[in-house]
Structure 1
Amino acid sequence: MYKIGIPRGMLFYDYYPLWAEFFKELGAEVIVSPKTNKDILNSGVLNCVDESCLPVKVFHGHADYLKDKVDYIFIPKMISIRKLEYCCPKILGLPDMVRFSIADLPPIIDTTINLRKINYTSSKYKKAVYEAGKYITQNKSKIRNAYKKAWESYERYLYLLSKGVIPIEAVKMYNKTFVDLNYNSKNHDMSIMVVGHPYNIYDEYLNMNLISKLINNRIKVMTPEMVSKDEIIYYSNQLPKRMFWTYGRRIVGSAFSLIEKDEVEGIIYLSSFGCGIDSILIDLIERKAKSKGVPFTLLTLDEQTGEAGIDTRIEAFIDMMKWRNKDDCDISTFR
């Protein structure tokens, strides 16, 4: 039985149920690296070029952890996942960066996914699926059936997200027959949107368990994954120019949607230091929040970030929101 390694980084919380079920249906054993910890972070920093952003460094650490434990490491080359849009350059080049940065790696399954001019039903996309499956079997019928079942699992995962389940929990729940869809619907004092790239929002080590801390403070947490694609497209189209970064569109569209519909009382933007795309997105969302009187704060993460500083920022933000809502709602959020 082949062992396929899936690093717990970058697009893990976007597609893990799809990837894992696909390889399991083909008869492979799927091994996932553990949650990010100090050793994985340090390994990533040592094995990656200095100019890379923190999530890419962390991903290198996860790949390095898996290299002696699996027959293959699955790192697809995600060029485009939507027509006329692109993924971030660091995602496009991820398999090559890992291949040339870490010594003694097993073969990398770097299937190219490029839907800029096609869609999920095209023959070119099906060819990409077969390309990934051929590492395990040459039987095209088996690969096709495995992908069909994997997609069903992925749809269950997306359904959980649409019901307000945090992806961290949805990954554990998507293949169960019964799930508690009230995970994020318990009594809460206010709602806050945590916005940013998924590899910043859902890596509990990098963001110092931000989501858990908010939930423990009776905060209802909203994330971009909980907003429908139609709403994301509609509200992102309010921009004067087309957003051609897929994740940029998701971040802006989801934030604009919740702000315009008055469904959140505050926004926390999680960004990794040196992210070029975030430098634009942060300004767009902060301006929209300011125009609607919605409190906004930015948390920037890097390998030197200390938890005490993050905790202080979170506590101050929540306290100021509660104080403003209770006593001084006529005071401007932005001074």
Structure 2
Amino acid sequence: MPVRVGIPRALLYYYYFPLWKSFLEGLGAEVVVSDRTTKDILTRGVQHCVDEACLPVKLAFGHVQNLLHKGVDYIFLPRMVSVARREYICPKFLGFPDMVKQNISGLPPVIDNVINQHRKPGDIHKFIRQVGELLGKGPLQSWLAYQRAKPVHQKYCRLLEQGLLPEEAMSVMAGKKPQPHQANGDLTVAVIGHPYNIYDAFISMNLINRLRKSGARVLTADNLTEHTVNQGVARLPKKLFWTLSRRMTGGAMAYHDQGTVDGIIHVAAFACGPDSMTGELIERFIRREGKMPFMNINLDEHTGEAGIITRLEAFLDMVRRRRTAL
């Protein structure tokens, strides 16, 4: 029987799952994904995580717990330090494997090898070799598995740039037809936030689908090319060294400059330092450059659905009134 490797449906799942899945399957593993987020998964995560952690980390704890009931032989939690030259991923990703091993009992072995491209972009040979060794494969077979996985990731990125959201793009790649969405609404709204905040329907209170049902077409920073994002963020006097914050800020600035959206919503996790900085940068830029409607939403485990719905309705009413007045 193939080795079963579990991947939590949290954190960078929405960026790298197709790549990871193809790579691990190329090494002969069976990939098992945790269930979609539920109240029980979040509650379990909150119970096992430290109080000071942000909502996405607490949720990721819950997804790791969910995998324990699926009979996996390994849990895949790469220690993400950097995925681009002279940039960093949030320190929580660096420490997450250790937090999990210290706070959750009964864990199978954790694949927590380091990915650090701060000095050499694209240099992940060591990571590939180490993961292959854990799964009983040699360096050549590991390298070939990764080379076959790269086009899968590139196709996934192209689908996102065509306007699909991660789950829709994954459905297309699996040979399924994505559910039709509101592509021709009377408004276009950019939702800017970390992928694990905006694409998880439970913790985001189904934000994107609510906007679509209200007649808005939704775009995110992931629907932009890397070149467009870099053009947007180039307006800042200093380079952002947080990779995800750079994408979010550049995406918001690019949508504003293009004039392709009627409003921008920034979704942040309470207790996230980079998020608070990113939201402030985006809001100051929009207030200084024009009059585009902007709203900031903060999420934590206590966020109420009714409050989110009320704020969304008020925001869309404001955007529509502004369009009518112009």
1:310 and 1:216 map into 2 onto residues whose CA distance is: 15
1:49 and 1:268 map into 2 onto residues whose CA distance is: 29
Shift of 1:128: 1.0
Instruction: Verify the 8 A CA contact 1:165 1:184 in the aligned structure 2.
Output: no
2:149 and 2:39 map into 1 onto residues whose CA distance is: 32
Residue identity opposite 2:243 in structure 1 = T
Q: Identity, % of aligned pairs?
A: 42
Residue identity opposite 2:129 in structure 1 = Y
Q: Corresponding residue for 1:168?
A: 167
Q: Corresponding residue for 1:283?
A: 280
1:315 to 302, 305, 313: 313
Q: Corresponding residue for 1:198?
A: 195
Distance 1:164 1:185, change over 3 A: farther
Shift of 1:48: 0.3
2:89 to 83, 87, 90: 87
Residue identity opposite 1:145 in structure 2 = L
Q: Corresponding residue for 2:271?
A: 274
SS in 1 for 2:134: coil
Q: Corresponding residue for 2:35?
A: 34
Q: Corresponding residue for 2:158?
A: 159
SS in 1 for 2:147: helix
2:110 and 2:7 map into 1 onto residues whose CA distance is: 10
For structure 1, the 5+ residue unaligned runs are: 330-335
2:228 to 228, 231, 254: 231
Distance 1:185 1:149, change over 3 A: farther
1:288 and 1:183 map into 2 onto residues whose CA distance is: 34
SS in 1 for 2:185: coil
What are the residue-to-residue correspondences of 1:37-186 with 2, within 5 Å? 37-68=38-69, 69-120=71-122, 122=123, 125-176=124-175, 186=183
Instruction: Verify the 8 A CA contact 2:182 2:215 in the aligned structure 1.
Output: no
What are the residue-to-residue correspondences of 1:211-250 with 2, within 5 Å? 211-250=208-247
2:286 and 2:121 map into 1 onto residues whose CA distance is: 34
Residue identity opposite 2:94 in structure 1 = L
1:294 to 276, 279, 292: 292
TM-score (norm 2): 0.95
4+ aligned runs moved over 6 Å, structure 1: none
2:171 and 2:57 map into 1 onto residues whose CA distance is: 24
Shift of 1:324: 2.0
CA RMSD of aligned residues (A): 1.5
Instruction: Verify the 8 A CA contact 2:203 2:299 in the aligned structure 1.
Output: yes
Residue identity opposite 1:104 in structure 2 = G
Q: After alignment, is 284-293 or 39-48 more displaced?
A: 284-293
1:138 and 1:16 map into 2 onto residues whose CA distance is: 21
Shift of 1:179: 5.8
Instruction: Verify the 8 A CA contact 1:77 1:95 in the aligned structure 2.
Output: yes
Cα deviations across residues 122-148 of structure 1 (Å, max 9, x unaligned)? 4xx112111112222222222122112
1:325 lines up with 2:326 in the alignment: no
Instruction: Verify the 8 A CA contact 2:194 2:248 in the aligned structure 1.
Output: yes
2:292 and 2:51 map into 1 onto residues whose CA distance is: 36
Cα deviations across residues 13-44 of structure 1 (Å, max 9, x unaligned)? 00000011111122211110011101100000
Shift of 1:235: 2.0
2:199 and 2:184 map into 1 onto residues whose CA distance is: 22
Residue identity opposite 2:159 in structure 1 = L
TM-score (norm 1): 0.93
Cα deviations across residues 193-226 of structure 1 (Å, max 9, x unaligned)? 0001111011100011111111112211110111
Q: Corresponding residue for 2:256?
A: 259
Shift of 1:174: 2.1
